[in-house]
Structure 1
């Protein structure tokens, strides 16, 4: 089939070359599709039933996706997956393709990998564009011959009815007499070869009394009974072997559980030790924080006392200076009054002299006198304005100092409030821990 595909590919390339087109081995990008690749864990795969439930898809592990043509078969897809996902640590070296058929995921046989294509793993044939892999080879998941032989023997025994002949009792009749009645009525005939042998013997005696007296038939029947007994012994031996294997598996599981319990105990001991160390570290940190807090509190108390002493000292000085202010202000007011009276008198005298000079004919001297009078008035007004400015500056300085003091007090109060909140949260945390 592969040689046929290669021949068709060569023929198409020759036709394209003859028609003047350039042939390339690259597939058409419109035919390429994305296929998500998952790996099903071995823990959800049922080795006895050779399947996995569709719910196992929820435990699948993603290893990436491939961009391949829809018409590519699964055998070629295997190589693409190995090539594109070779750097993935989760991708197994050997894997088997799985396909969801009905309610379960089943294996894709090697000859089916050539028949199935990528489009069989895409909608509408599947729910989503994805392919599932199982780690291992096909040989790792085949049933043992003993299972097939036991299944085939049971099927043969259930499908063959009891055969009666007038001359002899065949193998099928003895098989049905020995196994089928015991299977339907009483399981004790299967587990006790002596009872089975007696039953076969009674059956053989019954048939001999009805007219079967041939010695060769009797010998063949006895040989057949011996074969049945041998088969029963072989079956019991296999059952004992299976029981031993099951017991070995159970012992191995118990040993593994004990090992797991030891590991868990060791891990628990390590976690407890780590917890004790962390508790000691926590207590040490709390002790250090308390000492730092105490030192900070002591320093703040000292600073607060120093602040109170400085405040009291400056307050005392302020009141002392304030007591000195009234006589000084009275003296300044008296001097200002005298100064203003003197200036007014001087201005009046200069004004009278300028008027007298104008009346006597000294116009130039009168004009100069009037200029001096105006200058004196302006200087007097400037002095008054300067005094008012100085008073305003003094009041502004006082207000600025009061504002700065209020800001400092507000800042200290806010800091104390934050400290009180921290202490309250610390107390609440202690109460919750206890």
Structure 2
């Protein structure tokens, strides 16, 4: 019974492990693209990286990132195989360097989903090509030669790493894949027709290298294998970096080519614009010439028309009737008579105006003659007065000269007096200055003594101030001591009063006790001597 129970528990555990699912956080998305067949170069067995732009999307799969691409086929067939256009058999492609190349069957077990995601690639995507690896083996043997065979070291390097967790083991179960011929498990390269003779030598070298590698694989340890794997990973990352750099260089080259094309286009556009401008200038010149010719023709036509009109007018004037001429002559005579009348009237008016103007001028001239006569009489009278005034003026000048001489003499005397006064003032100033200096020196001597006295008084004042402060401090201390003594005296007096009261009370009590004791003695009888002795 116990054995049966244990077996049941084991079966349950195995079932639980087999049903276990991977963590959803380990699942990633991978985009699947199909490369068209017409883009693939069968002769060179590659396709350039630019062909990725022509790829067709087949959808995406949600798988763990540690899943091998060999196991990925099942998921791709399950999700993308529902479409009728999706190929039944396909080959994985990988971008290495500048081109896309096919992934070999033994590499499918080594490469994983994480190798097709960043940072290993630019985007999480995988490219496939319609076909099967058996199609390659059907090619003639004379176009291919095997340079190397699979070595045990290569097998150990290409073998998938063991998974640790039970969930990963459940997802990494082997899937039944179609059997592949042994020829597909080796590296193959195309050899030129001129090198067919040396194929046997290459095969011998491959066999010898296989034997050497088999002996070396027995010596290599797990540590060295790990180092080799790390170096291989480093080389792969280096290839990815180089591919990225090549891609950037190609993009720069394309950008430069575009710039050159744009410059050429701009130059061609400028040339075209220049040619167009020249053509426009030519057309403008032609138009100007045509306009000039048209203007000249129009002027000739206008002149011709004017000449025709003038001739017609002359003919019309000649053909006018005599009656019209007579009427015109009569009208002209009437006009002439009216004009003559107007002329006579205007002439009469002008003559009247001239006569009035002449009379006015005569009156003005008479007035001017009168004024001139009056002015002449006044001038003669003034000359007579001036002759009479000359004598007076000469006498007045002599008087003024005498006054001037007297004033100059007085001025000189005043100047002398002023000079004397100035000298006296200068002497007085010097005397006063000397007196002031003497007084200043005397006062200065006095002030020195006063300053000394002031300093002494200041010192005395400072001493007196200090003494006053000390006296104040002493007074404060003495007053404080006196107050303290008075307080203590009051306290002592109160204590004495209390003591006196207590003493009086005690005396009263003692007197009362004595009186009571006397009364008791009087009441008690005297005890005999015998009794006292007995006691």
TM-score by length of 1: 0.31
Structure with the larger RCO, 1 or 2 (CA within 8 Å, 6+ apart): 2
Structure with larger Rg? 2
